[in-house]
Homo-oligomer: A and B are copies of this chain.
């Protein structure tokens, strides 16, 4: 069991720094040697634990990316009373981590989706699957919001869900050019505008 622990520990280290570098430099632009150098490990160690670069990346997507997307973007919305408010807070938090240049896993997803589009169908499928899970959970939350009176009845939940994901992916794309703080502020402001058009009209 102790052995298994060591194995897991090493694999985990590899996956963590692997994700960091893949995220920072891109998958195709990051060599296995790059990762191994920053880990002080050798080629032998890598191919002892993983079959190939691709299989290594897929293990990262399933173990790290998926779990983080779940805890950061999906869980905070599950079963909550007012979904629109929860989504707003959740995305704002995600953008804040982006602002401090930490790993923003929502954007990790968007970033990789772009990189592999048309280049590696297998990996693309793993990534779109995660998007779908996110989307489905958004739809569920919105539907619940309808019955609870926080979302207008005639709203198209699927449309809203994919619009939310779209806008979020997009704003993260724009954040590369620096002025993240203003972008985040403006984005949340406009998201609120949009959400107002989805809320039941409150008579004063």
Contact = CB atoms under 8 A, between A and B. Distances in A.
A131 B174 CA distance: 9
A187 interface: yes
Interface string A175-200: 01100000101110111011011100
A191 B186 CA distance: 16
B26 A173 contact: no
Contacts of A110: 114, 170, 173
A173 B170 contact: yes
A131 B177 contact: yes
**A interface residue count range (under 10 / 10 to 19 / 20 to 34 / 35 or more):** 35 or more
A44 interface: no
Contacts of A189: 156, 159
Most chain B CB neighbours (cut-off 10 Å) among A115, A177, A189: A177
Interface string A108-119: 001101110111
Given A28-B29, A29-B28, A113 B173 contact: yes
A176 B156 CA distance: 22
A197 to B, nearest CB: 4
A115 B114 contact: yes
A43 B119 CA distance: 25
A197 B189 CA distance: 12
A128 interface: yes
Interface stretch (A1-9, A72-80, A160-168): A160-168
A190 B169 contact: no
A193 B190 contact: no
A163 B176 contact: no
Interface of A: 24-26, 28-29, 110-111, 113-115, 117-119, 124, 128, 131, 156, 158-160, 162-163, 165-171, 173-174, 176-177, 183, 185-187, 189-191, 193-194, 196-198
